[in-house]
Chains A and B, each alone.
Chain A
Amino acid sequence: KAGVTQTPRYLIKTRGQQVTLSCSPISGHRSVSWYQQTPGQGLQFLFEYFSETQRNKGNFPGRFSGRQFSNSRSEMNVSTLELGDSALYLCASSPAGTSFNEQFFGPGTRLTVL
């Protein structure tokens, strides 16, 4: 099976702009989670979607939002970008999103905010 794919791989934006990142899960996986990875904080959970519904959410401001489509593909949007949003954004998919499921990660989108 093809792995999790994320587009674009790299992105440069300026403060105040908005950005949309895309994630295509492994075929058959219905759960998609998003994480922000930074050197100091490690991986921080943003949110998880299953069957187009957000089931879990991390402690991020409302500027971070997402959605999932009927084909399980997911998008993440960040509005009013801040310098601190510069990070690697990882998407992970799993079959059903239960606690014992392994997560399969994409390569990430590197976002730089200038």
Chain B
Amino acid sequence: AQRVTQPEKLLSVFKGAPVELKCNYSYSGSPELFWYVQYSRQRLQLLLRHISRESIKGFTADLNKGETSFHLKKPFAQEEDSAMYYCALSVSNSGGYQKVTFGTGTKLQVIP
């Protein structure tokens, strides 16, 4: 069975400092990995996905299959980055249908 681990419940950093939100997964096949973000009083929304290899709002994430990790990084934290971040693993069952497993989330607090 697949699993997603986000070891930190809370990560506090100062504005301008680098950010790294950790995500490790367990899955024997080829995973599709995502980061979702939930800002205060807003809906959960997609931040980025590994298949796109894009940078969104200065955030990047690299899939490391050897370490089974998909850590989210940003070189300089901004106050508006304060939010709840969820790492998610999407796999297809034998019928090709999607099942998404989320981590427990990390709350990022950027201190002014």
Contact = CB atoms under 8 A, between A and B. Distances in A.
Interface of A: 3, 31, 33, 35, 40-45, 48, 50, 55-56, 58, 90, 92, 94, 97-108
B104 A42 contact: yes
B43 A56 contact: no
A5 to B, nearest CB: 11
Interface of B: 32, 34, 43-46, 49, 51, 86, 90-93, 95-105
Contacts of A100: 32, 49, 51, 90
A35 B86 CA distance: 13
A44 B92 CA distance: 17
A99 B98 contact: yes
Nearest to A53: B97
A99 B95 contact: no
A43 B98 contact: no
Contacts, number: 65
A43 B102 contact: yes
Contact of A105 (B45, B91, B93, B96): B45
The 7 A-B residue pairs whose C-beta atoms are closest, nearest first, are A42-B104, A43-B102, A55-B97, A105-B44, A99-B90, A56-B99, A99-B92
Contacts of A58: 99
B93 A56 contact: yes
A41 B104 contact: yes
Contacts of B103: 42
B39 to A, nearest CB: 12
Contacts of B34: 102
Contacts of B46: 102-103
B86 A97 contact: no
Contacts of B100: 33, 45, 103
